[in-house]
Amino acid sequence: MDYDFSEDVAKIWPALMFMAGFIVVVGALLFVLDILPRWGRGKERLQMAGFLGPALVLLGIGLVYPLVRTVYLSFYDAGGDAFIGFDNYTWIFTNDDTLTMLRNTVLWVVCVPLFATGFGLLYAVLVDKARGEGIAKSLIFMPMAISLVGASIIWKFIYAYRDPGVEQIGLLNQILVWFGGEPQQFLSNEPGNTFYMIVILIWIQAGFAMVILSAAIKAIPAEIVEAARLDGANPWQMFWRVTMPSIRPAVVVVVVTITIATLKVFDIVRTMTGGQFKSSVLAVEMYNQAFRSYDDGKGSALAVLLFLLVVPIVIYQARQLRHRTEIR
Amino acid sequence: MAVLSRRRRAITLAGVAALALAASACGSSSDSGSSNADKPECQPYSQYRVDKTKHVSIYATIRDTEAEKLEQSWKQFEDCTNIKIDYEGSGEFETQIKVRADGGQPPDIAVFPQPGLLATFAKSGQLKQLPASVQANLDKNWSKDWANYATVDGKVYGVPLGANVKSLVWYSPGLFKEKGYEVPKTWDEMIALSDKIAASGIQAWCAGIESGDATGWPATDWIEDIVLRDQGPDVYDQWVNHKIPFNDPKIFSAAERAATILKNPKYVGNPKTIVTTSFQEGGLPVKDKKCGMHRQANFYSNQWPKGTNVGPDGDVYAFYFPPVDPSKGKPVLVGGEFVSAFSDRDEVVKVQTYLASGEWANSKAKLGDWISANKSLDVSAVTGTIDKLSVQILQDPATVARFDGSDQMPAQVGSKSFWTGMTDWINGTKDTKQTLDYIESTWPK
């Protein structure tokens, strides 16, 4: 398509004027709010409202309103026309497809935080103060830099399957063939396919866990470690009695963050299987219902369920944070 | 600022002059449209002309080379009429169109690949009914069947754009010649041929239904094509419109017939490999004579590697997917896109009218690899051999054309459970009865 700049020139001036106007108005407002308390008592409340107001309004538009609307829609039918009570929720817990989807979501939420944190912790302890620690750590951290879709495409090639008769293009299947095995269809056989996809997220998240935990380990006061050594603690006791208790808050943060990320997992499943072969998860099913089946009711009900599952974890984390600041 | 040196000043002046020149050049290009309008080649477009430059946005699934050809096909229209078409093609059309329309920013014109999707927007009141000038072109250029696909509750909302013929079987003329195979004319002949090919050690059929998150769709075409052959067009219509349930015994019989090929290890090797073979790669072994037949639409001609000779004596060609009972006419499964408008501004109506005209269809067909069911389409304007064959099939009086059923069914079925059901069916996790029962259970009440 040819682009005609001259048509847009006229639009630049109004845009610039608008930006300038915006800066002037906001600047003046902030200035007034800043000097407000000097004008007399009781103006603090006004100042507070002035500073918090815009954020609250934006939160209302961007978070509260969609939340209310989603909950509302989840009690209506596909087009949002007829009230159907809890039917959409009953559907989630009675339909074979959605039950498989819930089972998969549970598998994800259990496996990914457990193994990602486990591997991250093990790795952080093992490479701590070892030679080439920097390089070893960046190797594990590198997958974090890849987008989820990018990682999924890489792994799609690793799992790729070709007929036994022809040359394999997938790394795993080629290795199987070298050892005299039959090539496997990793992604189309359930429930294995869910685990093969879980591996990807572990691969990505282990780096995150490792970095945070490694930093926490390094922050353990040298006196404690030295005291334990002098008392004759073996490495096993060192780990369980000294390291673990000291880094417990960091472990909680890591587990909680990864759990929330896992609950919302979408990109990997959509890229690898599109939710077919009984490998769907909550977020993928939500998207498919809302945007593929055009069923706003079921899509919203799934969104509400996802929200309800995430909320307790967030509350727990917020409490932990407050707890820690109180101790300090 | 210090006073500029003379040299500096000269450079500055030159720069300003260049800018001014550039600006005036840009300026002139925008009003060139009006002067173009008087040229002789613009004569046919006089009815579409508008006085001031207007923009019309079109949103569709067509991308890459095909999109370039599309834009080329209306280039002259744009030059002559002052209407600029802002075209956007997207692989995410099916999901994004809803986001845009619900968000209050629909395109002026959307090209729907599925009548079922179009109906959703028509029912929600977002689409405009066809204006008189467009309706006139539709009546003139398309058969009643085609006009019906975009009709919702007696009101017409769309005009067909391109068309494709799905009832084709790709084969290698070279292999057929070597082995002395004949192109089958009936279902039974085709099965006999399959047995012969399989006996010679070559895979008789190859297929691939992997297609990202649309995995399964090629198999739905198989079922539809065979329902049309096994049960006839009337049962087909009842099935698509849910006048009979999805798991009706008649459909079961058709699906079982499909299974004799698709799920038959004798013909396809391990059927499970079909679900992991991509639609794009599904038929490629035909060219290498490693596989006898591949049922896929005329648009599969784009998938052959560069330099493949497509033709009756070439590397690959296609024959018409034969009927079970030839005395009952030639059932043909077709697909296509439909042009619908979210706006009724004058320039939008003009673009719609133009796209529904025979002039546009011929202008597009000349660019190659494209056909339409437009009756004003001149067969001699069609370039490819497969396209010629497809147009002949479409215009054959014996042809009983039916539109792709999954595209007409509600989205919950047509672009979800029918796909996943077929995937599970071929993968062997569900048998025929379980598959049909499952799809029936997902039909919206």
Residues 6+ apart with CB under 8 A from A182: A164, A176
Helices (H) and strands (E) in chain B, counts: 22, 12
Which residue, among A173, A276, A280, would best test binding to B if mutated, counting the most B CBs under 10 Å from its CB?
A: A276
Tell me which residues of chain A have a C-beta less than 8 Å from any C-beta of chain B. Answer: 1, 4-7, 9, 78-79, 161, 163, 165, 185, 187-188, 190, 270, 273-278, 288, 291-295
Residue with tokens 């060139």: B32
* β-pair type (B317-320, B168-171): antiparallel
Task: Give A-chain residues touching B102 at CB under 8 angstroms.
Answer: none
Give the closest-approach CA distance of A227 to chain B in angstroms: 58
Q: Render pLDDT for B155-205 as a digit per residue (tens, 0 to 9).
A: 999 999 999 999 999 999 999 999 999 999 999 999 999 999 999 999 999
Residue B94 has pLDDT above 90, yes or no: no
Q: Count the Cβ atoms, other than its own, within 10 Å of residue B45.
A: 21
Contact assignment for A292 to B71 by CB distance below 8 Å: no
pLDDT of residue B7: 53
Residue among B132, B137, B130, B120 at smallest CA distance from B155: B130
pLDDT of residue B25: 43
pLDDT of residue B259: 96
Query: Can you tell me whether residue B400 is helix, strand or coil?
Result: strand
Which residue, among B209, B217, B415, B420, would best test binding to A if mutated, counting the most A CBs under 10 Å from its CB?
A: B420
Q: Which residues pair with B163 in a beta bridge?
A: B336, B371
Q: How far apart are CA B44 and CA B203, in angstroms?
A: 53
Contact B93, B384 (CB under 8 A): no
Contact assignment for B412 to A295 by CB distance below 8 Å: yes
Q: Render pLDDT for B291-330 as a digit per residue (tens, 0 to 9).
A: 999 999 998 988 899 899 999 999 999 999 999 988 878 9
Q: Which of B30, B124, B427 sits opposite A277 (nearest CB)?
A: B427
Residue B214 has pLDDT above 50, yes or no: yes
Nearest chain B residue (CA) to A291: B95
Crossing angle for the helix pair B346-355 and B132-141, to the nearest 10 degrees: 0
Task: Give A-chain residues touching B98 at CB under 8 angstroms.
Answer: 291, 294
Q: How far apart are CA A101 and CA A104, in angstroms?
A: 5
pLDDT of residue A327: 59
Alpha helices by DSSP H, listed for B37-83, are 64-73, 75-81
Residue B438 has pLDDT above 60, yes or no: yes
Residue B23 has pLDDT above 80, yes or no: no
Contact A258, A113 (CB under 8 A): yes
Contact A113, A255 (CB under 8 A): yes
User: Residues 401..430 of B with a Cβ closer than 8 Å to A: which?
Assistant: 411-412, 415-416, 419-420, 423-424, 427, 429
B114 in A contact zone (CB under 8 Å): no
B203 in A contact zone (CB under 8 Å): no
Mean pLDDT rounded to a whole number for chain B: 88
Q: Which of B86, B273, B424 sits opposite A163 (nearest CB)?
A: B273
Residue among B235, B166, B63, B68 at smallest CA distance from B407: B166
Crossing angle for the helix pair B232-240 and B249-262, to the nearest 10 degrees: 100
Q: Which of A6, A288, A294 sits opposite B98 (nearest CB)?
A: A294
Q: Render pLDDT for B116-157 as a digit per residue (tens, 0 to 9).
A: 889 889 988 999 999 999 999 999 998 888 888 999 999 999
E strands, B225-329, in order: 291-295, 317-320
Q: Render pLDDT for B233-267 as a digit per residue (tens, 0 to 9).
A: 999 999 999 999 999 999 999 999 999 999 999 99
Residue B57 has pLDDT above 80, yes or no: yes
How large a percentage of chain B has pLDDT more than 90?
64
Task: Give B-chain residues touching A70 at CB under 8 angstroms.
Answer: none
Task: Give A-chain residues touching B420 at CB under 8 angstroms.
Answer: 276
Nearest chain B residue (CA) to A153: B212
Nearest chain A residue (CA) to B409: A293
Give the closest-approach CA distance of A86 to chain B in angstroms: 16
pLDDT of residue B205: 96
B321 in A contact zone (CB under 8 Å): no
Residue with tokens 């497969």: B386
Q: In the structure, what pLDDT confidence band is assigned to residue B1 with cuts at 50, 70 and 90?
A: very low
Q: Render pLDDT for A5-33 as a digit per residue (tens, 0 to 9).
A: 776 777 888 889 999 999 999 899 888 88
Which residue, among B54, B126, B273, would best test binding to A if mutated, counting the most A CBs under 10 Å from its CB?
A: B273
Q: Which of A79, A185, A190 sits opposite B272 (nearest CB)?
A: A185
The list of chain A residues with pLDDT below 50 reads 1
Q: How far apart are CA B445 and CA B439, in angstroms?
A: 13
Contact assignment for B26 to A163 by CB distance below 8 Å: no
Q: Which amino acid is at B109?
A: I
Torsion sign over Cα B391, B393, B399, B403: negative
Contact assignment for B427 to A188 by CB distance below 8 Å: yes
Contact assignment for A187 to B276 by CB distance below 8 Å: yes
Q: Is the ipTM of this complex over 0.85?
A: no
* Residue-by-residue DSSP string for B336-386: EEEEEES---HHHHHHHHHHTSHHHHHHHHTTSS-B---TT--GGG--SHH
pLDDT of residue A78: 86
pLDDT of residue B147: 87
Question: Which has the higher per-residue pLDDT, A325 or B274?
Answer: B274
Q: Which of B26, B124, B444 sits opposite A4 (nearest CB)?
A: B26
Contact assignment for A78 to B95 by CB distance below 8 Å: no
Query: Can you tell me whether residue A188 is helix, strand or coil?
Result: coil
* Residue-by-residue DSSP string for B411-429: HHIIIIIHHHHHHHHHHTS
Q: Render pLDDT for B80-89 as a digit per residue (tens, 0 to 9).
A: 999 999 999 9
Torsion sign over Cα A154, A159, A162, A164: positive
Q: How far apart are CA A154 and CA A159, in angstroms?
A: 9
Question: Which has the higher per-residue pLDDT, A323 or B366?
Answer: B366
Give the closest-approach CA distance of B101 to chain A in angstroms: 12
Q: Which of A6, A161, A292 sits opposite B411 (nearest CB)?
A: A292
Q: Which of A1, A6, A165 sits opposite B26 (nearest CB)?
A: A6
Contact A275, A285 (CB under 8 A): yes
Q: Which residues pair with B168 in a beta bridge?
A: B320
The pair of structure tokens assigned to B199 is 């006996």
B20 in A contact zone (CB under 8 Å): no
Task: Give A-chain residues touching B412 at CB under 8 angstroms.
Answer: 78, 293-295
Crossing angle for the helix pair A5-35 and B6-36, to the nearest 10 degrees: 120
Contact assignment for B275 to A188 by CB distance below 8 Å: yes
Contact assignment for A274 to B215 by CB distance below 8 Å: yes
pLDDT of residue B124: 87
What mean pLDDT is predicted for residues B44-66? 90
Q: Angle CA(A82)–CA(A88)–CA(B420) in degrees, nearest 5?
A: 115
Task: Give A-chain residues touching B27 at CB under 8 angstroms.
Answer: 6
Contact assignment for B30 to A188 by CB distance below 8 Å: no
pLDDT of residue B46: 87
Contact assignment for B23 to A292 by CB distance below 8 Å: no
User: Residues 69..98 of B with a Cβ closer than 8 Å to A: which?
Assistant: 71, 86-87, 94-95, 98
The pair of structure tokens assigned to B91 is 């692989």
pLDDT of residue B32: 43
B206 in A contact zone (CB under 8 Å): no
